[in-house]
Chains A and B, each alone.
Chain A
Amino acid sequence: MGHAAHGDHPPLTENNSLGVPNLKLAMWTLLGGECMFFGSLIATYFFYKDKSLSGPIPTDIFSIEITTISTFLLLMSSVTMAFAVDRMKTKQAGQAKLFLAATAIMGATFVGFQVYEFSHFAHMGLGLGTNLFGSSFYVMTGFHGAHVTVGVIWLTALIGFIHSGRIEPGRYLPVELTGLYWHFVDLVWIVIFTFVYLLEFAK
């Protein structure tokens, strides 16, 4: 039962019958659960968005410009994330850190745009408790934004760990796991972008 020098290092050992890294199994399980989590928030939004009795409705306040920029940001951040994982695999830690930083910066900018959008909506009269549209919209996109924020903090910590040598070059599993989380966050945004925003503009 020989394990290679690259890939996972001790004390991370595969003590499961599948022989897969426990952490990766756990990450995929988390993401599966998150599918149901965001699925229910999105479904609730669809159910409630046109049933408000008063207050702003989607077509009153949605802006395609902000949303488009946000979408491109997150999409590009997924590309740089993939680059980062790739660079860790080929043992180029310096470049990996750069790509992780680019990912984190784009993610942080995305969150910035979300904060701007939320405050803009609030000024136009849409609060969390204003109407059904407001509550379902803010909870859905708020949780997504929170996930992006957690991801940015995670990426920053990861850069630090690589920089300090705590993660050796060639041990790409931590970066890969970060990538899985980050791509999922992008995936949720793809769904929200199309089904929440674009469908409103398609009316």
Chain B
Amino acid sequence: MNIMNFLKQFKLLLPVIISLFFIGWGSSWQEIKKTGKVISSVRSEFIQKKHLKILAKPLVSRGKFYFQAPKSLRWEYTSPLKSILLIHKGKVRRYTVKDKKISRDSSAQLQSMQVVLQEISLWLKGNFDANPMFKAEIRGNRKIVLTPKEAGMAKIISRIELHLSRRPGIIDKVKIYESRDSYTVIEFRKTVLNKKISGSIFRKI
């Protein structure tokens, strides 16, 4: 699998994660899908911890994200570096801010993000079991496990675990496993649903 396909498929994970905010709890996909229609926006802070065998302690990144249905997203890292991914009105842009200087990531793979948004409406309805990339299973109490269907993707990401909050519509954390020793945990906090988000959040850096 080459880097463009990989990054395209990884970025497809973002709507998976985000759209899970739209689900309430149930023990079946039918129940999950029922609550999928009521969420129009999400804002949240996150702490990302990268675990690697080479690291004595995880590498911690912090950030925040905003999502406005149907197709606007801001995924922003605030530390250890400032990086912002913006998806709005069909345009995908990524920026890094360093020493107060803004630099635009011009890598070609951003163009593949256009495809991402076409999948969001599917996931927003909670149709994870219809997701062509991942096999989805509900396991135990408030946990969904996604396993890649494609062998190439499975060599890169072995599985994704979604841990759902007791509060309906909220995700506590996402774990993305590359291997047993290499995984990323994203914990969400201060999540707010259905509060109006200004359009400038998705336009301005």
A binds B: no
Q: Which residues of B come within 8 Å of A, CB atoms?
A: none
